[in-house]
Amino acid sequence: MSKQQKTFDLTQLKGKIAIVTGAGNNGIGWGLCKHAAGHLGMHVVAMDLHKNLVDSAQARLRSAYPEVKVLGIECDVTKPDQLAAALISIETYFSDLEIGAVFANAGIFFHKTILKSSIEDWSATLNVNVIGVINTIKAFLPKMQLSKNDSIFCTTASVGGLVRGDGGTASYQASKHAVVSLTESLSFEIASRSPQIRVHVLCPCIVESALLRNSKTNAKEQSGEIAAKDIEPSSIETNDFAMTTESHAQQVFDLIAANKFYIITDNVRPYVEHDYPFEALAIVSERMENMLDLTLDNSGAFPKKSGDVKTATLTGAMFREAQKRNPQSSK
Ligand SMILES: NC(=O)c1ccc[n+]([C@@H]2O[C@H](COP(=O)([O-])OP(=O)(O)OC[C@H]3O[C@@H](n4cnc5c(N)ncnc54)[C@H](O)[C@@H]3O)[C@@H](O)[C@H]2O)c1
pLDDT digits (tens, 9 = 90+) for 201-215: 999 999 999 999 999
Residue-wise pLDDT tens digits, 40-97: 999 999 999 999 999 999 999 999 999 999 999 999 999 999 999 999 999 999 998 9
List the domain boundaries for the chain: 3-265, 280-330
Looking only at the bridges linking them, the beta strands covering 197-204 and 151-156 are parallel
**From the alpha carbon of 217, which atom of ligand 1 is closest?**
37
Q: Which residues of 208-222 are buried (b: 16+ CB within 10 A; e: fewer)?
A: bbbbeebbebbbebe
The tens digit of pLDDT for each residue in 153-163 reads 999 999 999 99
Ligand 1 midpoint to CA 75 (Å): 14
Whether the model clears a pTM of 0.85, i.e. scores above it, the answer is yes
How many helices (H) and strands (E) the chain has is answered by: 10, 7
Please give the number of the atom of ligand 1 that sits closest to the Cα of 245: 16
Assess whether pLDDT exceeds 80 at residue 165. Answer: yes
Report CA(72)–ligand 1 centroid distance (Å).
16
The span from the CA of 127 to the CA of 130, in Å, is 6
The answer to whether domain 3-265 has CATH 3.40.50.720 is: yes
pLDDT digits (tens, 9 = 90+) for 177-226: 999 999 999 999 999 999 999 999 999 999 999 999 999 999 999 999 99
pLDDT tens track for 110-149: 999 999 999 999 999 999 999 999 999 999 999 999 999 9
Residues in contact with ligand 1 (CB, 6 Å cut-off): 21-22, 24-25, 27-29, 48-49, 76-78, 105-109, 128, 132, 156, 158, 204, 206-207, 209-211, 214, 218
What is the Å distance from ligand 1's center to 302 Cα?
31
